Amino acid sequence: MKKRWMWFHDRFEPTEVHLHGFSDYIAGKETEYQRIEILQSPFFGKMLVIDGDVQSSERDEYIYHESLVHPALTILKKPENVLILGGGEGATLREILKHKTIKRVTMIDIDRESIEFAKKHLKEWHKGAFESEKLNLILGDALKIVNELKEGSFDAIISDVTEPFEGGPSYRLFTREFFEKLKRLLKKDGVFSLQASMLRNVTYELHRAIHWTLKEVFHLVFSYYSYVPSFDTTWGFCLASDELNPEDFSIEEIDRRIGERIEGELRFYDGETHKKLFLLPKDIREILKKKTNIIEEDKPFVLPKKNSL
Amino acid sequence: MKKRWMWFHDRFEPTEVHLHGFSDYIAGKETEYQRIEILQSPFFGKMLVIDGDVQSSERDEYIYHESLVHPALTILKKPENVLILGGGEGATLREILKHKTIKRVTMIDIDRESIEFAKKHLKEWHKGAFESEKLNLILGDALKIVNELKEGSFDAIISDVTEPFEGGPSYRLFTREFFEKLKRLLKKDGVFSLQASMLRNVTYELHRAIHWTLKEVFHLVFSYYSYVPSFDTTWGFCLASDELNPEDFSIEEIDRRIGERIEGELRFYDGETHKKLFLLPKDIREILKKKTNIIEEDKPFVLPKKNSL
Amino acid sequence: MKKRWMWFHDRFEPTEVHLHGFSDYIAGKETEYQRIEILQSPFFGKMLVIDGDVQSSERDEYIYHESLVHPALTILKKPENVLILGGGEGATLREILKHKTIKRVTMIDIDRESIEFAKKHLKEWHKGAFESEKLNLILGDALKIVNELKEGSFDAIISDVTEPFEGGPSYRLFTREFFEKLKRLLKKDGVFSLQASMLRNVTYELHRAIHWTLKEVFHLVFSYYSYVPSFDTTWGFCLASDELNPEDFSIEEIDRRIGERIEGELRFYDGETHKKLFLLPKDIREILKKKTNIIEEDKPFVLPKKNSL
Amino acid sequence: MKKRWMWFHDRFEPTEVHLHGFSDYIAGKETEYQRIEILQSPFFGKMLVIDGDVQSSERDEYIYHESLVHPALTILKKPENVLILGGGEGATLREILKHKTIKRVTMIDIDRESIEFAKKHLKEWHKGAFESEKLNLILGDALKIVNELKEGSFDAIISDVTEPFEGGPSYRLFTREFFEKLKRLLKKDGVFSLQASMLRNVTYELHRAIHWTLKEVFHLVFSYYSYVPSFDTTWGFCLASDELNPEDFSIEEIDRRIGERIEGELRFYDGETHKKLFLLPKDIREILKKKTNIIEEDKPFVLPKKNSL
């Protein structure tokens, strides 16, 4: 291997830091909202880092994006109209478009520069999805734009925004008030799924708060997680709905729907994966049982900025 | 938090290093076989490090040890006589002794000094289990001692040896020949379970080789994994048997058996956890399908020593 | 070399950190005043670390201690009675005792436990000097004890206290008021020399403030520095006196005095070294010229605590 | 300060690593000969890194370049014609051109791309010196080109090539044979000065070998060093000549020559600095006394490549 000496320090906790050596610093950009950097890691391939936080890596982004998108879309009878929040690298969009039933995807991202950056540097993620005629890309603040969208019109909403870092663009998108707005945009049997921060026995506070905040708004809320190697951790997601329960679906039914609807291939998600995702070990179930404060516009949950200096 | 400046560097890959800050270096010892160190981590509690490799931490060792022990013992009708290989910190023993049916546990560990060290410094692990009258502790090389044990006498064998590092004491305990010897020690419907290295989409070579080597010896072989935060990764286990299939057990049946047999409490394992463990995502199933070379006495699988210098 | 994985992180600046790998953690102790740790470094030998700050290493402590002690003692006609502040590892004492003229050394150290620790673990430093009959060791706070010592009685005072870290025991020993007290303890032609923090073109603030504070008290003040590898930097000292000027001494005169007075050997200091020390490059002279605020009891100069977490 | 998370790991020894956090990765380039990178360090300003080795930083390059150039040029009666080997960042050239007597500077650098890179990104170093009409820039391998230059024509030769890393472009420029060629290019009273690797009590092997190799070729050889903060160490230089001895010059004479000849300002070098440079402490003198093997074309001295992976 080429000898190299540049490292990205990903600090999770004051005393826990993961160092990723990189062979090339592919690109870096300070946009109005965030600092975006792309590294070439000998182990993980291209890595996308926003504000010092790994967003995804070439070798394992499929785990994250399939976990975020497919449980929600697959349990829907016929997903046609989907809203994405964030998801600037284009991989969430890419996964949604694999469902042949999809007619239109509306995507709201606050950061025009970051979308341009992704189009140019992250082809392995979006794979041309930004060119789809089904895409309606809106550049702006989701907080406001959701007010202008038609109520009751979406089969699914997928939130793929960055972590709610202090001073960042995302923390206001994890509140009860915002979730209520999203619910109004959904059809009656619509589904909301979102990336919901780390979920593991030693780190769960934010996830649990999101879980309980969603429960204020939706009848049915499910937490699940997938292990994403470049994150060092199992990553949490929530799926919320008033009517649909992912536990009701057999392995065979999920596999049947995938067979019918998916164009292209899924690498992570199928019937057995689905069944696994919606079973949780005892310790995590115990953690989630304990009710927390609800996240609200005037009581947001913010994470301290990433820092290794 | 107290300000601290001492760090343990855990290098997984040339370019992937996890740094654990520690507040106290509790104890260190160079035994005949290995270097053992115990650190006080502000995040993970006490950490046991052998030859630079995290063995377990106070905050998450229950996940590892319950995953290793309980699936095997719970699917047995009535586990009475169990053999442990390794497991020097005493937590595997501790979990086995929770099963009220157990009459005798034979434990073979090569490293007398490390057992003494564990008795003294790792009370949070063994919780006094070394005092059990059911324990038959044999200090010596499992490779030889298994030849002296009675064939067909064990309900379960649990292998909790260290990773097969180059020059270390464990690499000869992961071969076809050794697995065959173990099988002869088992009763006809006995079960063998073992820690079987990392299992994740980016690191699986050793696990897969163990999996296929076991298949040469046992009719039924199951891979499963649990995410252990202090390892940064999902950790693989194998359960092998000629007769018993863990997938045959319903959530309810597992929970019923736990209710009847377990003294004390399990934190990670129960019926739902069991069901989850024996479902695998698509990518991991694909990885495991590909047959590898068999690990044999004269073709061992060794890992390079851990090193961060 | 043995493979190792434990590291001490010495952070000088937010973005500048020196990592020292160590092969053994020899001892650690939390005394009433400070945290003391001794590491075995493959490169520097034993290293003494107090509150996260390298105090000295086996391979280069002679540079530091000879620089601190010998210029002051050698320019004295006949040093007999010396006061040490701090210097708990015993090496400053060791160097002073090499001067055959010495009759009595009074040493004040605040930390009884750290002295015991040094006696036991730092034989390479003190080399038995604590056993000298010339030693009068006083355990207590120099700030108070100097009030009880006889005025006009010392030929030299050598201050070897730790850096003035926030909340630590030393920051009150770098003030104008304290320097005035010390001056009263000196004979008319006595000399005061002290460790005076980093001195280099990129880090000089504390040294310069000490320099100018001394100038309020003594007629003659000289800054000098030696490069100490385990500190990564040139380290500053000051020599202050009302009458003696180290620049007045020729290489030959210094060598002659060493030849007459020193028992044992000096490794770093001699006539040529002396001459070199009291010449400074242009940039450092320019830095020192600029007058700063004076450090006073109610306006102390404190450094933030060392921290790498 | 902005929060940042990218670090350059500079490994000096297996267990000694300096980490430099950087806020921007300004540029990186893999040329035919080397990998060049420019970082923005919050502490050191711009840093130039070649093959993982710090070449110089904005805040302290003046110390290195003035130490390399001015002692040699100042002791010459009237330096007019100078040869530079390497020195691609243009700062050695910049310092030479400050001497008003200079008529022509010939500079040989092997790496066209790196010169282009420096012209564009290292204005703080060259400050336009590449535009001088006195410059004769030759792109090519010094090893060959020196054969084509006119013998006896140079007042001074300044070698500012990179460290002799294994496989790199420089190790053949530190041999007896090469030094002999250089000597033939010098006028009878000419001077050769060169960067000559680390010189400190714990690291001196390469410097000492250069020192003794030069002694095979020149009548007079002087080792000196300056502390360069971004290198973490005192850096060694050698000045060699058949006739001129830098120790013969008084502080006043050096200052007088600087006053007469220099256009612009020197920040580090003057008479007092000159005097200091050519005095060495006892330990370093002892180290240099011990004769080593001579570096020859077929017995080169190479350093292992820098690596932190």
Sites in chain B below the pLDDT cut of 70:
1-3, 308-309
* Per-residue confidence band for A169, with pLDDT thresholds at 50, 70 and 90: confident
Query: Are D115 and D214 in a shared domain?
Result: yes
Which residues in chain B have their CB less than 8 angstroms from residue A266's CB?
282
What is the average pLDDT across A158-187? 96
Residues C4, B309: C-beta atoms closer than 8 Å: yes
CA-wise closest residue to C40 among C27, C54, C25, C29: C25
What is the average pLDDT across C51-67? 96
Q: Is residue B136 part of a domain?
A: yes
Residue A19 at interface with chain B, using a CB cutoff of 8 Å: yes
What is the average pLDDT across A63-79? 98
- Torsion on CA atoms B100, B106, B112, B115, rounded to nearest 10: -20
Give the range of the structural domain holding residue A13, as residue numbers without chain letter: 6-54
What is the average pLDDT across A291-309? 89
Which residues in chain D have their CB less than 8 angstroms from residue C62's CB?
283
pLDDT of residue D305: 86
Last residue of a domain, one of A22, A39, A54: A54
Per residue in D229-257, pLDDT (tens digit) is 999 999 999 999 999 999 999 999 999 99
pLDDT of residue B81: 98
Query: Are D157 and D233 in a shared domain?
Result: yes
- The 3-class secondary structure across C127-183, one letter per residue, is CCHHHCCCEEEEECCHHHHHHHCCCCCEEEEEEECCCCECCCCCHHHCCHHHHHHHH
* Per-residue confidence band for D299, with pLDDT thresholds at 50, 70 and 90: very high
State the best of D22, D74, D204, D279 to mutate against chain C, taking most chain C CBs within 10 Å: D279
Residues A232, B227: C-beta atoms closer than 8 Å: no
pLDDT of residue C169: 87
User: Which subunits sit against B, judged by 3+ Cβ pairs under 8 A?
Assistant: A, C, D
Among partner residues D3, D6, D306, which is closest to A3 by beta-carbon distance? Answer: D306
pLDDT of residue A4: 75
C218, pLDDT greater than 80: yes
Residue B267 at interface with chain A, using a CB cutoff of 8 Å: yes
Q: How far is the alpha carbon of B94 from chain A, nearest alpha carbon, in Å?
A: 19
Q: Is residue C180 part of a domain?
A: yes
* Residue B11: count of CB within 10 angstroms of its CB: 20
What is the average pLDDT across A10-17? 92
Q: State the average pLDDT for chain C.
A: 96
Which residues in chain A have their CB less than 8 angstroms from residue B1's CB?
14
Taking each helix axis from N to C end, the angle separating D282-289 and D205-215, rounded to the nearest 10 degrees, works out to: 60
Q: How far is the alpha carbon of A215 from chain D, nearest alpha carbon, in Å?
A: 35
Tell me which residues of B are annotated as active site: 160
Among partner residues A14, A15, A309, which is closest to C14 by beta-carbon distance? Answer: A309
CB C165 within 8 A of CB C51: yes
pLDDT of residue C180: 98
Query: Are B210 and B74 in a shared domain?
Result: yes
Among partner residues B20, B62, B201, which is closest to A229 by beta-carbon distance? Answer: B201
Residues D1, A309: C-beta atoms closer than 8 Å: yes
Percentage of residues in chain C with pLDDT exceeding 70? 98
Can you tell me the distance from the alpha carbon of D214 to that of D223, in angstroms, rounded to the nearest whole number?
10
Query: Are B131 and B268 in a shared domain?
Result: yes
pLDDT of residue C167: 87
* Per-residue confidence band for A308, with pLDDT thresholds at 50, 70 and 90: low
Can you tell me the distance from the alpha carbon of D55 to that of D50, in angstroms, rounded to the nearest whole number?
7
Residue D200 at interface with chain C, using a CB cutoff of 8 Å: yes
Residue D5 at interface with chain B, using a CB cutoff of 8 Å: no
Mapped onto helix, strand or coil, the DSSP state of residue A124 is: helix
pLDDT of residue B2: 64
Catalytic residue (one of A160, A232, A270, A298): A160
Query: Are C108 and C157 in a shared domain?
Result: yes
Which residues in chain B have their CB less than 8 angstroms from residue C3's CB?
52, 305-307, 309
The CATH number given to whatever domain includes residue A189 is: 3.40.50.150
CB A43 within 8 A of CB A69: no
| DSSP E strands, C16-153 | 16-22, 24-30, 35-41, 45-50, 53-57, 81-86, 104-109, 135-139
Which residues in chain B have their CB less than 8 angstroms from residue A269's CB?
281-282
pLDDT of residue D241: 98
Q: How far is the alpha carbon of B57 from chain D, nearest alpha carbon, in Å?
A: 26
Residues B5, C1: C-beta atoms closer than 8 Å: no
Residues A6, D8: C-beta atoms closer than 8 Å: yes
Q: What residue in C sits closest to A17 (Cα-Cα)? A: C309
Among partner residues D14, D15, D309, which is closest to B15 by beta-carbon distance? Answer: D309
pLDDT of residue D3: 66
Can you tell me the distance from the alpha carbon of A123 to that of A117, in angstroms, rounded to the nearest whole number?
10
Per residue in A216-266, pLDDT (tens digit) is 999 999 999 999 999 999 999 999 999 999 999 999 999 999 999 999 999
Which tokens belong to C137?
């060791």
Residue A10 at interface with chain D, using a CB cutoff of 8 Å: yes
- The 3-class secondary structure across chain D, one letter per residue, is CCCCCEEEEEEEECCEEEEEEECEEEEEEECCCCEEEEEEECCCEEEEEECCEEEEECCCHHHHHHHHHHHHHHHCCCCCEEEEEECCCCHHHHHHHCECCCCEEEEEECCHHHHHHHHHHCHHHHCCHHHCCCEEEEECCHHHHHHHCCCCCEEEEEEECCCCECCCCCHHHCCHHHHHHHHHHEEEEEEEEEEEEECECCECHHHHHHHHHHHCCCCEEEEEEEEEHHHCEEEEEEEEECCCCHHHCCHHHHHHHHHHHECCCCCCCCHHHHHHHCCCCHHHHHHHHCCCCCCECCECCCECCCCCC
Can you tell me the distance from the alpha carbon of D50 to that of D306, in angstroms, rounded to the nearest whole number?
10
Q: Is residue C95 part of a domain?
A: yes
D13, with CB counted inside 10 A (0-12, 13-18, 19+), is middle
Residues A229, B13: C-beta atoms closer than 8 Å: no
Last residue of a domain, one of B24, B39, B55: B55
Of the CA atoms within 13 Å of residue A94, those in its CB half-sphere come to 22
Query: Are C44 and C68 in a shared domain?
Result: no
Per residue in C6-57, pLDDT (tens digit) is 999 999 999 999 999 999 999 999 999 999 999 999 999 999 999 999 999 9
Q: Is residue A242 part of a domain?
A: yes
Q: What residue in A sits closest to B40 (Cα-Cα)? A: A15
Residue D304 at interface with chain B, using a CB cutoff of 8 Å: no
CA-wise closest residue to B65 among B97, B44, B93: B93
**Full strand arrangement of the beta sheet holding D35-41:** D24-30, D35-41, D45-50, D53-57
Residue C6 at interface with chain B, using a CB cutoff of 8 Å: yes
Q: How far is the alpha carbon of D62 from chain C, nearest alpha carbon, in Å?
A: 10
* Chain C, window 29-68: residues with a beta carbon less than 8 angstroms from a chain B beta carbon: 37, 49, 52
**pTM metric for this prediction:** 0.95
The CATH number given to whatever domain includes residue D48 is: 2.30.140.10
pLDDT of residue A167: 87
- Scanning the structure block, which residue is given the tokens 């250089």? D182
Active site (annotated) includes residue A160: yes
Query: Are B14 and B160 in a shared domain?
Result: no
Residue B304 at interface with chain A, using a CB cutoff of 8 Å: no
Among partner residues D233, D279, D281, which is closest to C229 by beta-carbon distance? Answer: D233
Which residues in chain D have their CB less than 8 angstroms from residue B15's CB?
309
Can you tell me the distance from the alpha carbon of D73 to that of D88, in angstroms, rounded to the nearest whole number?
19
CA-wise closest residue to D117 among D173, D36, D2, D179: D36
Which residues in chain A have their CB less than 8 angstroms from residue B13's CB?
43
* Per-residue confidence band for C308, with pLDDT thresholds at 50, 70 and 90: low
Can you tell me the distance from the alpha carbon of C39 to that of C47, in angstroms, rounded to the nearest whole number?
5
Per residue in A127-146, pLDDT (tens digit) is 999 999 999 999 999 999 99
Query: Are D87 and D21 in a shared domain?
Result: no
Query: Are B168 and B256 in a shared domain?
Result: yes
Catalytic residue (one of D53, D111, D160, D270): D160
Q: What total number of domains does chain C contain?
A: 2
Strands B104-109 and B81-86: parallel
Q: How far is the alpha carbon of B280 from chain D, nearest alpha carbon, in Å?
A: 33
ipTM beyond 0.90? yes
Residue A14 at interface with chain C, using a CB cutoff of 8 Å: yes
Which residues in chain C have their CB less than 8 angstroms from residue A15's CB?
309
Mapped onto helix, strand or coil, the DSSP state of residue A69 is: helix
D306, pLDDT greater than 90: no
Query: Are C216 and C166 in a shared domain?
Result: yes
Q: Is residue B298 part of a domain?
A: no
A309, pLDDT greater than 60: no
Q: How far is the alpha carbon of B141 from chain A, nearest alpha carbon, in Å?
A: 35
Q: How far is the alpha carbon of C284 from chain A, nearest alpha carbon, in Å?
A: 28
Q: Is residue A27 part of a domain?
A: yes
Q: What residue in D sits closest to A41 (Cα-Cα)? A: D309
Q: Is residue B305 part of a domain?
A: no
Which residues in chain D have their CB less than 8 angstroms from residue A309's CB?
1, 3-5, 21, 42
Q: Is residue A294 part of a domain?
A: no
Which residues in chain C have their CB less than 8 angstroms from residue A309's CB?
14-15
Q: How far is the alpha carbon of A241 from chain B, nearest alpha carbon, in Å?
A: 23
- Torsion on CA atoms C235, C241, C247, C250, rounded to nearest 10: -110
* Chain D, window 132-191: residues with a beta carbon less than 8 angstroms from a chain A beta carbon: none
Query: Are D88 and D33 in a shared domain?
Result: no
Query: Are D69 and D151 in a shared domain?
Result: yes
Residues D14, C20: C-beta atoms closer than 8 Å: no
Residues in chain B: 309
pLDDT of residue A3: 66
The one-letter amino acid code at B63 reads I
Catalytic residue (one of C160, C189, C283, C298): C160
pLDDT of residue C2: 64
